[in-house]
């Protein structure tokens, strides 16, 4: 079984771009001896204060089929060193891409009424997915709409990259605007209770009144609106 630091070294070797310090205001420390010295000192400080020593661990904190959580040793401006978490999408490391799709049909927009475990609440949002290794973003967008609502995309327009939480997530999600040719039933096994269609005015009112709080939905709408795709 790989340990946290060995998994970390593997990611560093295979994806050096994720550790680049070029033009970086916060620099990642990857020199092994420097990391070990810092960890040893920090563990002693934590032990003396009665706090968990694993707070000083550097490397991969979680590695599951969907995400990797990494704790880096970093140097902030002023040469102060500390740790910083990052969440990385597994698909991003293996030629895949997370996607979000703002879908329209007959001048109405598709919304899902979906239960989200992290917030323990229902959410109005548009289709999206983590992505699959080796699957291009445009293909993944078509797959997500098919899987979540049995929909078939006619026209698909790339709206560019979106970062949902730059303070924690290193993921690049691709936004799309799509025109559907057809749709089917919601995928209840993915927590989708129902689907419904709203006009542009209704969509904008739901965003303005905070009925829609999902950042991906708001971002896709904003990008499409500013590009003149929504009329």
Task: Report the CATH architecture of 98-226.
Answer: Alpha-Beta Complex (3.90)
- The burial of 175, by beta-carbon neighbours within 10 Å (0-12 exposed, 13-18 middle, 19 or more buried), is given as buried
Helix, coil or strand: residue 88: strand
Q: Quick check: 189 pLDDT over 60?
A: yes
Mean pLDDT for all residues in the chain: 95
**pLDDT tens-digit readout, 30-48:** 999 999 999 999 999 999 9
Rounded CA gap, 24 and 61, in Å? 23
Q: State if pTM tops 0.85.
A: yes
pLDDT for position 2: 64
**Chain region(s) in the chain for CATH 3.90.79.10:** 98-226
pLDDT for position 194: 95
pLDDT for position 231: 75
Instruction: Assign 89 a pLDDT band (cuts: 50, 70, 90).
Output: very high
Using an 8 Å Cβ cutoff, are 72 and 84 in contact?
yes
pLDDT, average across residues 60-81: 95
Q: 73 - beta bridge partners? A: 83
pLDDT for position 174: 97
Helices (H) and strands (E) in the chain, counts: 6, 11
Q: What is the DSSP string of 133-195?
A: TT--HHHHHHHHHHHHH--EEEEEEEEEEE-S-TTTB---EEEEEEEEEE-----GGGTEEEE
Between 213 and 6, where is the model more confident? Answer: 213
Query: Strands 121-125 and 108-116, how do they pair?
Result: antiparallel
């Amino acid at each position: 079984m790989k340990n946290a630091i060995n998994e970390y070294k593997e990611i560093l070797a295979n994806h050096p771009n994720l550790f680049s310090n070029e033009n970086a205001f916060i620099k990642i420390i990857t020199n092994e001896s420097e990391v070990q010295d810092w960890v040893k000192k920090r563990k002693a400080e934590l032990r003396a204060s009665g706090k968990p020593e694993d707070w000083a661990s550097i490397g991969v904190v979680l590695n599951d089929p969907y995400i990797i959580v990494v704790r880096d040793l970093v140097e902030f401006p002023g040469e102060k060193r500390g740790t910083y978490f990052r969440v990385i999408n597994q698909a991003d490391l293996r030629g895949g891409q997370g996607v979000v799709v703002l879908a329209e049909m007959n001048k109405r927009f598709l919304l899902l009424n979906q239960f989200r475990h992290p917030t323990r609440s229902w959410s109005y949002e548009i289709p999206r997915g983590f992505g699959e290794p080796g699957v291009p973003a445009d293909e993944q967008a078509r797959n997500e709409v098919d899987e979540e609502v049995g929909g078939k995309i006619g026209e698909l327009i790339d709206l560019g990259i979106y970062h949902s939480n730059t303070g924690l997530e290193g993921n690049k999600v691709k936004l799309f605007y799509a025109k559907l040719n057809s749709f089917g039933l919601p995928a209840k096994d993915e927590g989708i209770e129902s689907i419904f269609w709203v006009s542009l005015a209704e969509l904008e009112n739901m965003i303005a009144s905070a009925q829609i709080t999902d950042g991906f939905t708001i971002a896709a709408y904003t990008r499409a609106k500013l590009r003149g795709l929504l009329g």
